Chains A and B, each alone.
Chain A
Amino acid sequence: MERVLQIENLCTEFKTERGMLKAVDGVSFEVREGEMLGIVGESGCGKSVTSQSILRLYDEKSFVRYTGDVRFHDESLLALSEKQMESVRGAKISMVFQDALSSLNPVFTVGDQIMEAILIHQKRTKAEAKEQAIEMLNLVGIPDPGRRFHQYPFELSGGMRQRVMIAVALACHPQLLIADEPTTALDVTIQAQIMDLIVDMNKRLGMAVMLITHDLAVVAETCDRLIVMYLGQIVEEGRVEDIFDHPMHPYTMGLMNSIPKLDTAKATRLYQINGTVPLLNQIPVGCRFAPRCPYATDLCREEMPELSQVSETQGVRCHYRNGRNGGFVQERLEYEAG
C-alpha cells in the first residue's frame, strides 16, 4: 500500500523559561493509504504534540522548533512556507480535536464554519459551498441538516457538535484525518456512534485515519496498526492483533493490564503502572520508562534502548525484548496484576 504520510526522526521542541523542552524526540512512523493507525499513551506522552507538529499548528515565530522530516506523499511539510502549508491544512490533511464545544467558534453558525473550509480550498460560489456543506452535515449523520446549518454550536448536543467538527474536517475530502481523542469528552454511547462514523468515513472515503487516544479498547476495535508512545518516543509499534496478543514492552503490558475486565473479582484492585509520566525537564538518562518499570535493571537505567524490529511488523524499544539479555518474565507481571 502506498504511503500517505512518512515521519522521520521528528523532534518538536518548545522554548520555555526553563530552556528548550523536547516534547517529541526522534519519532518515525508512516501512515498508509486508507489505513487506521492508532497512537496510544498516557497524557503527556507527546501524542498530541506529534499530531499537531504534522500540521505545524504551533506558533513558529517564537515558540517551537521542529526538526526531522514530515513527508506527505513526496512533499516535505517542514520545508513548506506558511502560505503553502495553509493549502495543506484542511484540504489534504485535516484534524478533529477532543472538545468540540471549545473547538468550534462560538460566534459563527455551524454552516459558516463548514463553508469556510470549502471556500478556502475549493473554487466554489457561496451557493455551491452551502449546498456542499449541507451535504456534509447529512453525510456525518446530522438529521435535518438544512435547519442545523443555521444553528450555532451552543445550540447542539455534544455528539452533534463532534459530528459537525468531523464535517468541517472532511469538507474538502482530505487524504488523512488526524483525530485527537475525538471521543474523550463524550458519553459512552455517543463515543461508540462517533467511532462508528469515523470508521465509516475511513471505509467509504478511503481516507487514512490517525487516531490518537488513550482508550485501548477503541484501538482494538477500529485500528489496523498501533503505536505506543511514552515520553516523546515510540516504545512499541506493530499490527494491532500482534501487539494485543504479544505486547513486548513493559509499558504496553502495563497499559493493557490496566483495562478492567469483566471476569475480574470485585475485590481485586485494578492494575496500575506505578508513578506518573515525568515532566519534560526531568527526563531519565537511560530507558525513559525505567523509573516506573517493574523489571528495570542497571542496564536500563544507564543506557537508552533503541527501537528495534522484533518481527517484520513489530518494533520494540526495550533491552529485554523477546527474551534478549535474559529477558523478563511476563508471568510475573500477570501474577502481579492478579
Chain B
Amino acid sequence: MQKFIVRRLLSVIPVLFVVSVVIFTLLKMVPGSPAATLLGDLATADDIAKLEEKMGLNRPLVEQYFIWIGNMFHGDFGISTAGGEPVASVVFSHVKPTISLALYALIIASVIAIPMGMLAAKNKGTGIDHGVTVLSLAGISLPSFLFGLFLMLIFAVKLHFFPVSGYVEISRGLWPHIKSLTLPAVALGFMNAALMMRMTRSAMLEVLGSDYIRMAKAKGVRNFVITTKHALRNSLVTIITMIGQSAVQMLAGAAVIESLFAIPGLGQLMVNSIGRRDYYVIQAIVLLIALFNVLINMLVDLLYGVADPRVRAT
C-alpha cells in the first residue's frame, strides 16, 4: 500500500509539469502584452518596453518559464493588474469560500444520491424506482441558477430560514458560516446529486445481478445487508469516481451559483479576472484548478485501492 501511494504521488509531478507548460504557452499566445494592459491606453511604446524589461518579458521564453516556475515555488505568483495586490493573497482569499461550498455541496449530494440510487436499484421497475428517476431527471434538466432562485425565494425571502445572499467567514462562527452557505450548497449539491443518483443506481444494478450476490443470498445474508455491505462495497469504485468528478466540477465551475448568492469564490474571481484581463490571476487560478484536479484524482486512485483489493495488488 505504501509503495502504491508513493508511486501515485510521484506520478503527479510530470502531470503538473505538462499543465504548467500548457498554461504558460497559452498565456504567451494571447495577443497583447501584459505590460501594455497594465499601463493603459496612454502609454508610449517606450514605457511599455521599459516595463516589459522590468517584468522580464523580453527574455527568451524558456527562461521566462523557469523564472515563473521558480517564483511560484517561493509563493510569488505575480501582482494582480487589477488591484495591485499579490496574486497569491487574492486567490487564497477566494479559495476558502469555494472549498467550503464544494465540501458542503458534496456532502449534501452524496447523502441524497447514494441511498436513493441504492433504493432505486433495489426496487428496480417499481414506483420507487420511477420516482427516483423522475427526480433525477428534474435535477439534471433544471438550470442551477433557476433552482437557486427558487430556494432563495422560498427559504430566504418567504421563510427567513437563511440569509438571501452573502458569505460569512468561518472565523465569525461555524453556524453563521454554514447558514450562509446552505442555500447555495443545496442548489449546487442537488444538481450533482441527480447525476450521482443515476450512476449509483446503474452501478448497483450491475452488481446486484452478479453471482456473488446470489451466493450471499444462498448463504442466508439478509437483503438489507446484501445491499449495504456486499453490493455497495462493490459499487464503491464507481461511486468514488463520481464523487471525485463532482468535487472537481464544484471547485472549478461554481461561478453561476457563486454569482447568484454573492459568494466571493474562485468561480467569481475567475469570471471577473477574465473581464479585467488580469492574466496573472487567471494563470494562478487555472493552475490551482489543475492542481485540485490532479490531487483529487490521486485521492480517488488511492481510495480505489482501499475499496478494491484487486487494485492494490496491481
Interface residues of A in 85-116 (CB under 8 A from B): 86-91, 94-95, 97, 99, 102-108, 116
B144 to chain A, nearest CB (A): 35
Let me know if A87 and B220 touch, CB within 8 A.
yes
With A62-B125, A105-B234 as given contacts, are A152 and B310 in contact (CB-CB < 8 Å)?
yes
B126 at interface by CB-CB < 8 Å: yes
Let me know if A88 and B310 touch, CB within 8 A.
no
Q: Could you say which residues of chain A place their CB within 8 Å of the CB of B218?
A: 55, 57, 89-90, 94-95, 97, 169
**A99 to B215 CA separation, bound complex (whole angstroms):** 11
Interface residues of A in 121-158 (CB under 8 A from B): 121, 152, 154-155
B74 at interface by CB-CB < 8 Å: no
B177 at interface by CB-CB < 8 Å: no
A117 at interface by CB-CB < 8 Å: yes
With A103-B212, A107-B233 as given contacts, are A90 and B220 in contact (CB-CB < 8 Å)?
yes
Q: Could you say which residues of chain A place their CB within 8 Å of the CB of B126?
A: 61-62
B41 at interface by CB-CB < 8 Å: no
Interface residues of B in 209-242 (CB under 8 A from A): 210-212, 214-223, 230, 233-234
B308 at interface by CB-CB < 8 Å: yes
Q: Could you say which residues of chain B place their CB within 8 Å of the CB of A57?
A: 214, 217-218
B313 at interface by CB-CB < 8 Å: yes
Q: Could you say which residues of chain A place their CB within 8 Å of the CB of B222?
A: 86, 120
Q: Could you say which residues of chain B place their CB within 8 Å of the CB of A89?
A: 217-220
Of the residues B220, B223, B230, B234, contact of A117 by C-beta under 8 Å: B220
Question: B interface vs A, CB < 8 Å?
Answer: 123-126, 210-212, 214-223, 230, 233-234, 307-310, 313
Q: Could you say which residues of chain A place their CB within 8 Å of the CB of B214?
A: 52, 57, 97, 103
A235 at interface by CB-CB < 8 Å: no
A82 at interface by CB-CB < 8 Å: yes
A168 at interface by CB-CB < 8 Å: yes
B205 to chain A, nearest CB (A): 12
**A90 to B234 CA separation, bound complex (whole angstroms):** 22
**A116 to B233 CA separation, bound complex (whole angstroms):** 15
A165 at interface by CB-CB < 8 Å: yes
A59 to chain B, nearest CB (A): 9
Let me know if B211 and A90 touch, CB within 8 A.
no
Let me know if A154 and B313 touch, CB within 8 A.
yes
Task: Across the interface, name the chain B residue whose C-beta is closest to A168.
Answer: B219
With A107-B309, A155-B313 as given contacts, are A120 and B220 in contact (CB-CB < 8 Å)?
yes
**A55 to B221 CA separation, bound complex (whole angstroms):** 13
**A91 to B212 CA separation, bound complex (whole angstroms):** 18
Q: How many residues of A contact B (CB 8 A)?
A: 33
Task: Across the interface, name the chain B residue whose C-beta is closest to A109.
Answer: B309
Let me know if B219 and A102 touch, CB within 8 A.
no
Q: Could you say which residues of chain A place their CB within 8 Å of the CB of B215?
A: 95, 97, 103-105, 165, 168
Task: Across the interface, name the chain A residue whose C-beta is closest to B207.
Answer: A105
**A64 to B131 CA separation, bound complex (whole angstroms):** 23
Task: Across the interface, name the chain A residue whose C-beta is closest to B123.
Answer: A61
Task: Across the interface, name the chain B residue whose C-beta is closest to A94.
Answer: B218
With A62-B125, A155-B313 as given contacts, are A106 and B217 in contact (CB-CB < 8 Å)?
no
With A89-B218, A168-B219 as given contacts, are A152 and B309 in contact (CB-CB < 8 Å)?
yes
Let me know if A88 and B211 touch, CB within 8 A.
no
A221 to chain B, nearest CB (A): 26
Let me know if B219 and A116 touch, CB within 8 A.
yes
A5 to chain B, nearest CB (A): 15
Q: Could you say which residues of chain B place their CB within 8 Å of the CB of A120?
A: 219-222
**A103 to B222 CA separation, bound complex (whole angstroms):** 17
Task: Across the interface, name the chain A residue whose C-beta is closest to B222.
Answer: A86
Q: Can you list 28 A-B pairs, Cβ within 8 angstroms, ordered by A?
A: A52-B214, A57-B217, A61-B126, A89-B217, A94-B218, A94-B219, A95-B215, A95-B218, A97-B215, A97-B218, A102-B211, A102-B212, A104-B212, A105-B212, A105-B216, A105-B230, A106-B308, A107-B233, A107-B307, A107-B309, A116-B221, A117-B220, A120-B221, A120-B222, A152-B313, A154-B313, A168-B215, A169-B218
Q: Could you say which residues of chain A place their CB within 8 Å of the CB of B212?
A: 102-106
Q: Could you say which residues of chain B place their CB within 8 Å of the CB of A108?
A: 233
**A39 to B127 CA separation, bound complex (whole angstroms):** 40
Identify the 6 closest CB pairs spanning chains A and B, nearest first.
Answer: A90-B220, A89-B220, A90-B219, A102-B211, A105-B212, A95-B218
**A86 to B123 CA separation, bound complex (whole angstroms):** 19
**A104 to B233 CA separation, bound complex (whole angstroms):** 13
Let me know if B310 and A82 touch, CB within 8 A.
no
**A106 to B212 CA separation, bound complex (whole angstroms):** 8
Task: Across the interface, name the chain A residue whose C-beta is closest to B124.
Answer: A62
Q: Could you say which residues of chain A place their CB within 8 Å of the CB of B125?
A: 62
**A105 to B231 CA separation, bound complex (whole angstroms):** 9
Let me know if B210 and A154 touch, CB within 8 A.
no
Q: Could you say which residues of chain A place their CB within 8 Å of the CB of B123?
A: 61
A230 to chain B, nearest CB (A): 25
Q: Could you say which residues of chain B place their CB within 8 Å of the CB of A55?
A: 217-218
**A152 to B307 CA separation, bound complex (whole angstroms):** 13
A329 to chain B, nearest CB (A): 45
**A117 to B225 CA separation, bound complex (whole angstroms):** 12
With A62-B126, A152-B310 as given contacts, are A103 and B211 in contact (CB-CB < 8 Å)?
yes
**A108 to B212 CA separation, bound complex (whole angstroms):** 11
Of the residues B219, B221, B223, B309, contact of A106 by C-beta under 8 Å: B309
**A63 to B110 CA separation, bound complex (whole angstroms):** 30
Known: A89-B219, A104-B215. 5 other contacts (CB 8 A): A105-B216, A106-B212, A116-B221, A154-B309, A169-B219
**A94 to B125 CA separation, bound complex (whole angstroms):** 30
